[in-house]
Amino acid sequence: MENHKAAAAAVAYRLLNQTKHKSNKILHQRRLIPNSTQLNPSSSTSGFTQASVPLNQFVASYRWDLRKSSLIHTHHRKFGSVASTIVERNPNFSTINHDDLIYFDKILGAKKVIQDPEELQTANTDWMHKYKGSSKLMLQPENTTELSQILDYCNSRRLAVVPQGGNTGLVGGSVPVFDEIIINTRRMNSVISFDQVSGVLVCEAGCILENLISFLDKKGFIMPLDLGAKGSCQIGGNISTNAGGLRLVRYGSLHGTVLGLEVVLANGSVIDMLGTLRKDNTGYDLKHLFIGSEGSLGIITKVSILTPPKLSSVNIAFLACEDYISCQKLLFQAKRRLGEILSAFEFLDSQAMNLVLHHLDGVRNPLPSSIYNFYVLIETTGSNESNDKATLEAFLLHAMENGLVSDGALAQDFSQASSFWHIREGIPEALQKAGAVYKYDLSLPVEKMYDLVEEMRTRLGAAANVVGYGHLGDGNLHLNVSARQYDDAILAQIEPFVYEWTSQHRGSISAEHGLGLMKAEKIYYSKSSETVSTTYGFSQEIVGP
């Protein structure tokens, strides 16, 4: 206890000292990952953010394959150490012929019909280089009509398609599995309208998240979601995958902020649900089915979303905690004492910190005196600079006095704030550079969350480096197992253990990344069979038998 108090006093000094001598203004925008193409080698193709299951009857038959895989033996691909799944191509799907290409050229024009091997290689490969398709054709429609014509035609010709946005997904949903036609939405990237009074933004699905953030910044608004891949991911993909990200703790999920969608179904029909109203209780709210359905029910073409006003005061603290229980208590206190101004509560363990310090250029530890077991990043966003700062400082002092925080720093300017965020946002990139990585995105009760990381460490021993970080405020753990190279023995230690453990604790095996190819057949770990079969009925109703 005495030690705690001494530490508290030391940190308090640092905080107050900084407060006195430096400006406390922190701009809202954070520094981006230096080169967004590093995050996403295929960013040139842009498009949907994360996973999107292949569209159309392909979905149905893909599931069918899984269920009756012994019946169909054409060709198949094994995902080796990446995923033990064997998926087989459904022979009922056609392959592209010369007439198809002539048709697409006619309706789109040659420049939107991509057959260039280099471009296709990028579009066939996911960001992690884990999932690789063999598509021979990428189409880049410029508007809803073109996209509708494509789907109508593909449906009649039984050509499988996969929708693709920014191709930043982590579960193999944004690239083809076999030779599906890639439908990339990058050319549909216009802002349609913005209402300064209501804050409602209407735009095309292919708008890159960061471009929307910049657009709104000039109007005095922000996007209700933000994530590391913002420089490449597209809003249509964000919504298709129900992306969570860094602001969910404050602004809630996309189910709350998306007001309307326009989508094109697999048969080409356009469903206009593009309302801009905050409230509309006239019948089933169908748009919610498309949020998070990963492109399996249709392709989102237009989006209407409620954006919050940009508030003038943003403060960021980077804190060290001795143990996980302190992180939890800190979260509880933050919700109480920071209340309405809390806008992010992220955590990382020492393993994550070490990776970032080792693999990313120019990163330094804001709390260099020692490596602590846990780090927490807290952001507040409010409209009163001096009040907010005082509130955060009082909270931190209280936390230190109670021994929850061992050390900490408050960002004093834009550059410091960016550097704090860069540590948290840079973890995926650092993991990529460290070698092979097995990524799991789990929702768990906060109090159980880190037990899994520790159990995994015990299971794997020296074979791999187990890293835990994520959105503590939302109960979302990013569990990553980093190894020199992909190895079936390591994978066998991780799966199905990680899914079983999550299921036993009533967690979700995908908090925000989606199912994609990686977890399509793992759905039963998180959903009851009644729900899945009702769901299956729905999808049949929309995409057809």
**Chain residues 345-374 in contact with a copy of itself, contact rule CB under 8 A:** none
Site for a copy of itself in 166-225 (CB under 8 A): 195-199, 220
HSE-CB for 163 with a 13 A CA cutoff: 40
Q: Which is nearer to a copy of itself, 46 or 257 (CB)?
A: 257
Pairing of strands 270-273, 313-321: unpaired
The answer to the question of residue 32 lying near a copy of itself (CB under 8 A) is no
Interface residue with a copy of itself among 82, 175, 338, 466 (CB under 8 A) is 338
The answer to the question of residue 67 lying near a copy of itself (CB under 8 A) is no
CA–CA distance, 302 with 263 (Å, rounded to integer)? 7
Distances 386 to 23, 81, 160, 282, 311 between C-alpha atoms, Å: 11, 53, 57, 44, 13
The answer to the question of residue 331 lying near a copy of itself (CB under 8 A) is yes
- Measured over all CA atoms, what is the biggest interatomic distance in the chain, rounded to whole angstroms? 80
Give the pair of three-digit tokens for residue 187: 């050319």
CA–CA distance, 356 with 477 (Å, rounded to integer)? 18
CA–CA distance, 318 with 397 (Å, rounded to integer)? 14
The answer to the question of residue 507 lying near a copy of itself (CB under 8 A) is yes
Cβ-based neighbours of 227, under 8 Å, separated by 6 or more: 49, 209, 233, 238, 243, 244, 245, 246
Min dist CB 73 to a copy of itself, Å, is 28
Strands in 407-410's sheet, in edge-to-edge order, are 407-410, 313-321, 374-382, 342-349, 465-471, 476-483, 436-443
Interface residue with a copy of itself among 256, 484, 489, 500 (CB under 8 A) is 256
Give the pair of three-digit tokens for residue 501: 């453990």
HSE-CB for 527 with a 13 A CA cutoff: 16
Interface residue with a copy of itself among 73, 279, 458, 462 (CB under 8 A) is 279
Min dist CB 35 to a copy of itself, Å, is 28
Site for a copy of itself in 228-247 (CB under 8 A): 241-242, 244
For residue 164, the tally of other CB atoms under 10 A from its CB is 33
Cβ-based neighbours of 306, under 8 Å, separated by 6 or more: 198, 199, 200, 224, 257, 258, 259, 278
Q: What is the DSSP string of 404-440?
A: S-SEEEE--SHHHHHHHHHHHHTHHHHHHHHSEEEEE
CA–CA distance, 51 with 293 (Å, rounded to integer)? 9
Site for a copy of itself in 290-319 (CB under 8 A): 291-293, 297, 309, 311
Which of these ranges, 319-327, 350-358, 396-404, 510-518, lies near a copy of itself under the rule CB under 8 A?
510-518
Min dist CB 157 to a copy of itself, Å, is 23
Interface residue with a copy of itself among 70, 283, 461, 462 (CB under 8 A) is 283
The answer to the question of residue 45 lying near a copy of itself (CB under 8 A) is no
**What is the per-residue binding string for a copy of itself in 87-126, x denoting contact by CB under 8 A?**
----------------------------------------
Which of these ranges, 30-38, 210-218, 405-413, 524-532, lies near a copy of itself under the rule CB under 8 A?
524-532
Interface residue with a copy of itself among 253, 350, 354, 373 (CB under 8 A) is 253
Q: Which is nearer to a copy of itself, 213 or 291 (CB)?
A: 291
The answer to the question of residue 328 lying near a copy of itself (CB under 8 A) is yes
Interface residue with a copy of itself among 161, 319, 514, 517 (CB under 8 A) is 514
The answer to the question of residue 535 lying near a copy of itself (CB under 8 A) is yes
Let me know: does 317 contact 343? Beta carbons within 8 Å: no
CA–CA distance, 247 with 306 (Å, rounded to integer)? 14
The answer to the question of residue 396 lying near a copy of itself (CB under 8 A) is no
Q: Which is nearer to a copy of itself, 7 or 87 (CB)?
A: 87
Q: Which is nearer to a copy of itself, 104 or 324 (CB)?
A: 324
Q: Which is nearer to a copy of itself, 334 or 410 (CB)?
A: 334
Let me know: does 245 contact 226? Beta carbons within 8 Å: yes
Min dist CB 83 to a copy of itself, Å, is 16
